[in-house]
Structure 1
Amino acid sequence: MTATPGAARTGEVLRGVGVGRRGAVGPVAQVRPAPHVDDDAPLLVDGVPADPATAHRIVDEAFTQVVDELREQSARATGTVRDVLAATAQMADDKALRSQVLTRIDAGDHVVHAVDGVVAMFATMFEQAGGYLAERVTDLRSVRDRVVARALGLPPPGVPHLDRPSVVVARDLAPADTAALDLENVLAIVTELGGPTGHTAIIAGQLGLPCLVQVPFATTVEDGTVVAVDAADGTLTVDPDDALRAELGRRAGVEDALAADVEPGGTADGHRVQLLANIGTAQDAERVAPTAVEGVGLFRTEVLFLERTTAPTRQEQATVYAQALSALGDRKVVVRTLDAGADKPLAFATQPDEENPALGVRGYRLVRHDPELLETQLAALGAAQSDAGTAPWVMAPMIATASEARDFAARARAHGLTTVGVMVEVPAAALRAREILAEVDFVSLGTNDLAQYTMATDRLRGELADLLDPWQPAVLDLVDATARAGLELHKPVGVCGESASDPVLALVLVGLGVTSLSMSAGAVPAVRYALRHHTRAQCATMAAAALAAESAPSARASVVAMLAPEVRETLGV
């Protein structure tokens, strides 16, 4: 039975986009929606409409209280959760946002109308900018709802108190709400909106929670209804039967058993494939260090830069980088230099009037306008290398030409960094991979952006997830071209996009010639298991079949048909 509008029924299956492979069964806890108040409702004080001066004071205090609450939550959180909470607090503390609301109130506008009007204006600007700013609209609306509720004395929107393990369901979930979750009582997260690379999905992955996004009618499931969430299958089942419960329980046991394997990654015939983790902070490095990963294949350094009014100093950066390097000891750590600008705007390096930020001044292209940002970061990495006593691999994002790769390599080596590479995220880089690899020591494929640019599809639009499927043959063609260049020049070619975490697709990537796979630490055991049960030659045969397919679904189906029976059964594919 598939989803229909109205109250969900026993056995009904709601389909969406799954994030991760895990599953869970438990009662639904619906997130409180935004307060529904008429936009001309007056602000009452002791039953009497407040004058503009009183309304000004109350709303100003509401903004301050929301900022304080968000910062307190940020202080209690860690890693990526802490950073996105701090970013949301900074948005709530934005002087332009607050002053424009207060100006409208001073002019006699009703509170709700004033807040809604200003937020709507900012949201439109963000959505038109696209990319990172478009993703921040959820945070912006969360700030609006919190301020309105606080000003009018209404219950705050968000996740209710959880008194038992529950499946949290919402139309959309702001990072502030996600970070406020009582993790002891959260089994899974389900939203009607969002995308697989949005804040909610990223945080759920960090927390190891099953997650579904783009699930129509999820908010029609009544509080307390028991549901089964299957991230691997992308489904939410209302009142699941015993068979589904048993299957999810079996798979959980399998995941735990696979995690006990700590051997290095490789195929059945001994071909080595490094299995690495993606991280965003030094704390993430410390978190993954005790797990059976062989290092870090992607350290996203932009968390240090975003939402600041000034760039972090050389010493601030060096301290963080050294902490991460020290946590991993002698294991490989690949550090990506600043991937910001345009769709991830920096207050201290904003490029004005970009009509299409996704194609604008971002990543390595910032060097055109502010070379000191990169030079300071490379100097900090050189200092961290000396402090930690271990050498990082360093790579630049958004490289499109061999000359850009050559320039970055020269800059990095001038700071004593000896292993230098670049990201392959745009078709131009994949098509000229041989020339680019001639200038650097390695490349890493960012398949999320590579799919976006190949398929001309915004990666944040969840409803277009089928076009962003990393199984798209056109995307695999570009991975193949890059991997072949690496084999010819005897240089490493890694993958650090989401495709690396799919144990079936991982076999194809290895068959194409990819030498390392980087993913969330929790995805490593299943990938390790799949590789260990197939030879390199079998992986190559699978890769050829995927390349020959006419569509993403047929590419995956052709490879699944070739899987070793024990892998298909164990991993449930």
Structure 2
Amino acid sequence: MTEIAGVGIGQGIAHGPVALMAAPLEPPTDAPSTRTPDEEKALVASAVSATAADLNERGERAGGSARDVLEAQAMMAEDPTLAEAVEAKIDGGATGEYAVHTSFVEFAEQLAELGGYLGERAADLADVAQRVIAQLRGAAAPGVPDLGHPFVLVARDLAPADTALLDLDQVLAVVTTDGGPTSHTAILAREKGIVAVVGTGDASLTEGQTVIVDAAGDVVVADPTPDEIAAADQRAAARAAAVSAPITPGALADGTEVPLLANLGSPDGATEALELGAEGVGLFRTEFLFLSSDEAPSVADQTASYRLLLEAFAGKKVVVRVLDAGADKPLPFLTDADEENPALGRRGIRALQHREHVLRDQLTALAEADSDTDADLWVMAPMVATVDEAEYFTALARELGLRTTGVMVEVPSSAILAEEILRKADFASIGTNDLTQYTMAADRLLGTVAHLQSPWHPAVLRLIRMVADGGEKNGKPVGICGEAAADPLLAVVLVGLGVTSLSMTPAALAEVRAELKRHTIDDARRIAAAAVSAGDAAGAKKAARDAA
């Protein structure tokens, strides 16, 4: 028996034989083309169009966050800058395959060097290139094997197109050597309820080898004993029973209320979220309205979309985040195109303040939708770092008719200043993905620093406690809307730190609801204190487990 450490996604456990992800296509050679440049360009254009159409079609089938990710990949495939680079290489005598391969590699390397959100796109771009080249060759794109029996999929990382459409009757669990807890693989695995351990490093697993994938334990067990397999089956059965319990409002064992809300990227996910027991929306991302356009949508178009969401959640709280552009989401009408490090540049509220008319239109549309519906609308600004930014946003939102206005806490400065910021704002919502990245100065995608990307790190937990304390002193609620809320045991810790609500991908609601019911508020505070007193993320998680 050998244990391989990684970062577990969720609390699941599964076992089965290993199936290794198929190797990528052989890269094309630099042999000169035997076709004319126009012929090569036409073939590439057709392959790109077919690839984009396939990605969009996969997105429609997958729905949810997967659709957003796959639509973004389709946009990458048809990016005009990449098309120009490919055509220039073809004009120089290259084949379409070689032009696509080298152009995409060069652009992916640029993104990887930038790190952060843009760095996460590098792996997605490499997958798009493979799919375009497969189209040019008339071959199947590399992907998940079809073995005819259940297996544990082991890969360097999974492309969003593969993760979105995994056959869960065949794929028992996923293990990736790269990636971290907020990579696309992790996010989609959490959304689909897939047992996964990511960021294992160079795990030496072989085809057909039996493994246990223990997400709760952050470990992959190779060649387990029969007793270990039996114990894993017992845990899996107990977990299945817990998550299938009747849906009730989120609460601790002593009746302390902890509203469980949903993170959504478009109104389309409302029905599923409600069916899974969401008590409202804790994070509605509005980027879907803006990312596919060269100009901001009209007030009328925005109002119509917001109205659909608010009507679906009539009588319930709906927290909407205004446009979070910049970093990996540049917009020609809002963000600067020449920033060297956009993750630390004019992003979120900074970009909106710089182009205030975009923010005014969005807030106006939200106020109009609010006046037409019965939901309890809360609106918040992303990437707030100072008291002045909080004051600016809340004043403008109230001027335009919005009643409840708050801020996202995603950078250490706003956590440290939480008491002062919450004198101005009505509430705070903590985005643990970015808060972890900026606190630890660790790229969210890199497996080499996965141990620093965890929201379990005591440095992150202490900042969360500071925000909760700031909320308590001002009588203001503080929620969590980052991926941390989807980790059941960490959810208990967050409540123990003083957080008043939790928002997550809807698929995680049942597990979190079940775990909260196992603990009182005193238990939660004791478990949180144990975690905060640890020296690193692994120690914090172990301390919380022991205390629980």
The correspondence of residues 445-464 of structure 1 with structure 2, limited to 5 A, is 445-464=430-449
Secondary structure of the corresponding residue to residue 275 of structure 2 = coil
* Map of 1:542 onto structure 2: 527
- Residue 290 (structure 2) aligned to one of 305, 312, 319: 305
Give the TM-score of the pair, scaled to structure 2.
0.92
Is 1:494 the counterpart of 2:456 in the alignment? Answer: no
* Map of 2:14 onto structure 1: 24
Provide, for residues 13-42 of structure 1, a one-character-per-residue CA deviation record: whole Å limited to 9, x for no partner: 443222111223344443333211452356
Structure 1 runs (4+) deviating above 6 angstroms are: none
Q: CA deviation at 1:443?
A: 0.8
Counterparts of 1:463 and 1:208 in 2: how far apart (Å)? 25
Deviates more, 1:386-395 or 1:433-442: 386-395
- Residue 396 (structure 1) aligned to one of 371, 381, 386: 381
Amino acid aligned to 1:449? D
Secondary structure of the corresponding residue to residue 174 of structure 2 = strand
Q: CA deviation at 1:217?
A: 4.2
- Residue 379 (structure 1) aligned to one of 346, 364, 369: 364
Amino acid aligned to 2:5? R
Counterparts of 1:226 and 1:550 in 2: how far apart (Å)? 34
Provide, for residues 210-232 of structure 1, a one-character-per-residue CA deviation record: whole Å limited to 9, x for no partner: 2222233458532x555432222
Q: CA deviation at 1:327?
A: 2.5
Counterparts of 2:25 and 2:493 in 1: how far apart (Å)? 49
Counterparts of 2:226 and 2:436 in 1: how far apart (Å)? 39
Q: CA deviation at 1:197?
A: 0.8
* Map of 1:570 onto structure 2: none
Counterparts of 1:234 and 1:110 in 2: how far apart (Å)? 45
- Residue 100 (structure 2) aligned to one of 115, 122, 138: 115
Is 1:230 the counterpart of 2:214 in the alignment? Answer: yes
The correspondence of residues 278-297 of structure 1 with structure 2, limited to 5 A, is 278-297=263-282
Question: Contact 1:470–1:476 at 8 Å: present in 2 too?
Answer: yes
Counterparts of 1:533 and 1:77 in 2: how far apart (Å)? 33
Question: Contact 1:420–1:440 at 8 Å: present in 2 too?
Answer: yes
Question: Contact 1:63–1:98 at 8 Å: present in 2 too?
Answer: no
Relative distance call for 1:166 and 1:544 in structure 2 (3 A) is closer
Secondary structure of the corresponding residue to residue 166 of structure 2 = coil
Counterparts of 1:267 and 1:64 in 2: how far apart (Å)? 51
* Map of 2:250 onto structure 1: 265
Question: Contact 2:195–2:215 at 8 Å: present in 1 too?
Answer: yes
Is 1:147 the counterpart of 2:132 in the alignment? Answer: yes
The correspondence of residues 469-548 of structure 1 with structure 2, limited to 5 A, is 469-548=454-533
Secondary structure of the corresponding residue to residue 189 of structure 1 = strand
Q: CA deviation at 1:135?
A: 1.2
* Map of 2:238 onto structure 1: 254
* Map of 1:433 onto structure 2: 418
Is 1:34 the counterpart of 2:24 in the alignment? Answer: yes
Q: CA deviation at 1:492?
A: 0.8
Relative distance call for 1:219 and 1:191 in structure 2 (3 A) is farther
Question: Contact 2:302–2:362 at 8 Å: present in 1 too?
Answer: yes
Provide, for residues 96-139 of structure 1, a one-character-per-residue CA deviation record: whole Å limited to 9, x for no partner: 21232122123212444322321122112222333222111122
Q: CA deviation at 1:184?
A: 4.5
Counterparts of 2:495 and 2:313 in 1: how far apart (Å)? 25
The correspondence of residues 354-373 of structure 1 with structure 2, limited to 5 A, is 354-373=339-358
Is 1:94 the counterpart of 2:79 in the alignment? Answer: yes
Relative distance call for 1:199 and 1:558 in structure 2 (3 A) is closer
Counterparts of 2:212 and 2:195 in 1: how far apart (Å)? 11
Question: Contact 2:27–2:101 at 8 Å: present in 1 too?
Answer: no
Deviates more, 1:339-348 or 1:181-190: 181-190
Secondary structure of the corresponding residue to residue 319 of structure 1 = helix
Q: CA deviation at 1:514?
A: 1.5
RMSD: 2.5
Give the TM-score of the pair, scaled to structure 1.
0.88
* Map of 1:334 onto structure 2: 319
Question: Contact 2:10–2:488 at 8 Å: present in 1 too?
Answer: no
Amino acid aligned to 2:122? V
Counterparts of 2:172 and 2:488 in 1: how far apart (Å)? 23
Provide, for residues 157-182 of structure 1, a one-character-per-residue CA deviation record: whole Å limited to 9, x for no partner: 22344644443332222212323434
* Map of 1:569 onto structure 2: none
Amino acid aligned to 2:229? R
- In the alignment, structure 2 segments of 5+ residues that lack a partner are none
Relative distance call for 1:347 and 1:32 in structure 2 (3 A) is farther
**Matched-pair identity in %:** 48
Counterparts of 1:37 and 1:177 in 2: how far apart (Å)? 20
Deviates more, 1:512-521 or 1:25-34: 25-34
Q: CA deviation at 1:439?
A: 0.8
Amino acid aligned to 2:447? G
Q: CA deviation at 1:249?
A: 2.8
Question: Contact 1:342–1:350 at 8 Å: present in 2 too?
Answer: no
Amino acid aligned to 1:257? A
Deviates more, 1:75-84 or 1:519-528: 519-528
